[in-house]
Structure 1
Amino acid sequence: MSRSRLFWALSWLAAGWIAWEFFYYSQFKLNGAEGSIEGVFLPLANWIGAPALEPQLRWGVVLLEIVAAALVLNQPTRLLGGLMTVGLMGGAIFLHVLGPIGIDPYGDGAMLFKEALFTLAMGVFLVVAHRSDLPRLVPRGAAA
C-alpha cells in the first residue's frame, strides 16, 4: 500500500471514529438521558454556579459535537473538524480530571474518559495529517 493510500485510509478511519463517537453520544444528550444529566451536565452546571443552565450547556455541547462530526466527514473541512474535536475533547478531559465529573463517573472502568482520550488522539491525528489545508481555510490577508 502506498503512503498516500495509507494516509487516506487512516484519515477516514479517524474521521469515522470521531463522527461515530459524537453522533452516538448525541442521542443521550438530546434525549436528556439521566446519565447525561445527573452524571455529567448537572454537576458541571452546579460547579459553575448555574444549575438552571444545565439544558443549555448540554444542548450547546451536543450542537458543537454534531458540527464537528459533520466537518470531519467532509474532506475539505476535515482540518476544521479535527480542530473542533481537539477543543471539545480537551475541554472534556480537563473537566473530567479537574472538574466535578471525575474520571469514572459511571463506575464502568472510566470508559467515557478512555473514549475521550482516544477521540482526542484521533482529532490530533487529523489536525497533523491535514495541516497543509490550513492556508485554504484562512482567508488571504487575515494574518496581516
Structure 2
Amino acid sequence: MVSAIDAIRLRAAESPATTLRGLAGLLLPWALAAYIAYILLWYLPFKFYPDSYLFQVLEDWVGLSWFEPYFRYFTGCVEGVTCLLLFVPGLQVAGAAVAFATMGTAIFLHLASPLGVDPYHDGGVLFREACTNLVFAAAILVIRRHEILPLLQRLATDPRFAAFLRANT
C-alpha cells in the first residue's frame, strides 16, 4: 500500500512541474484568502466604532443623513461574513466573489467621491490594500473557476433558496 506522501513523491519525480502547479493550485487560494481575511479583520473594528471619518465623508457626498452609521454597519457585516466564507472549503469561491465586489465598490467610492486615494494622508495604504484584496480575490476566482458553476447550480436547485426568494418577493 502506497501512502499519500509516497504518491506525491512518486508523482513529483515523474513530472515535477505538474506536481508544483498542482500544489500551488491547492495552497495558493488559501494563502490569498488568509491575506484578504487578515486585512478585512484588521479594519473590521473600525466599521463598528462611532463616527467614522471615511463614512462621514461619504455621507456628506451622498447627502443621506442615515448613510454614515447604517452603511458602515452593513459594510462591516458583509466583510465579516466574507472572512467566514473564505475559509469554508465549498464556499471559498463565494467568499472571493463577495470580497471582489466589496473591494470593487470601495475602490469606486474612493475614486468617485471626495475621499480620494489617500484620505488619511498616509500614502494611500487603505486604497492599496483594497486594490491588493481585489486582485487576490480575482486570483482565487480564476484558480477556482471550475467551482463557480457547480456552486451556482447547487444554490439554484436548493429548495431552501427558492423558498427564501419566494418569501422575499
Q: Please state how far the C-alpha of 1:45 moved relative to its aligned partner.
A: 1.4
CA 1:44/1:137 → structure 2, altered by over 3 Å: closer, same or farther?
A: same
Please provide the CA RMSD for this pair.
Answer: 1.8
- Deviation string, structure 1 residues 101-123 (Cα, Å, up to 9, x no partner): 11100000000001011010110
Q: Which has the larger radius of gyration?
A: 2
Q: Pick one of 98, 101, 118 that aligns with 1:104.
A: 118
Deviating beyond 4 angstroms after TM superposition, the runs of 4 or more aligned structure 1 residues are none
Q: Pick one of 58, 77, 95 that aligns with 1:81.
A: 95
Aligned to 1:62: 76
Amino acid at match of 1:109: G
2:45 corresponds to 1:31: no
2:113 corresponds to 1:95: no
Amino acid at match of 1:114: R
After TM superposition, the structure 1 stretch with the greater mean CA deviation from structure 2, 5-14 or 100-109, is: 5-14
Structure 2 Cα separation of the partners of residues 122 and 58 of structure 1? 23
TM-score normalised per structure 2: 0.76
Q: Pick one of 38, 41, 53 that aligns with 2:67.
A: 53
CA 1:141/1:28 → structure 2, altered by over 3 Å: closer, same or farther?
A: closer
CA 1:2/1:106 → structure 2, altered by over 3 Å: closer, same or farther?
A: same
CA 1:140/1:75 → structure 2, altered by over 3 Å: closer, same or farther?
A: closer
Q: Please state how far the C-alpha of 1:58 moved relative to its aligned partner.
A: 0.2
2:28 corresponds to 1:14: no
Aligned to 2:150: 136
- Higher RCO (Cα < 8 Å, 6 or more apart): 1
Structure 2 Cα separation of the partners of residues 141 and 53 of structure 1? 31
Amino acid at match of 1:115: E
Structure 2 Cα separation of the partners of residues 2 and 75 of structure 1? 21
User: How many residues in Structure 1 have an aligned counterpart in Structure 2?
Assistant: 139
CA 1:140/1:58 → structure 2, altered by over 3 Å: closer, same or farther?
A: closer
For structure 1, the residue ranges without an aligned partner over 5 or more in a row are: none
CA 1:141/1:87 → structure 2, altered by over 3 Å: closer, same or farther?
A: closer
- Identity across matched positions, percent: 32
For structure 2, the residue ranges without an aligned partner over 5 or more in a row are: 1-18, 157-169
Aligned to 1:127: 141
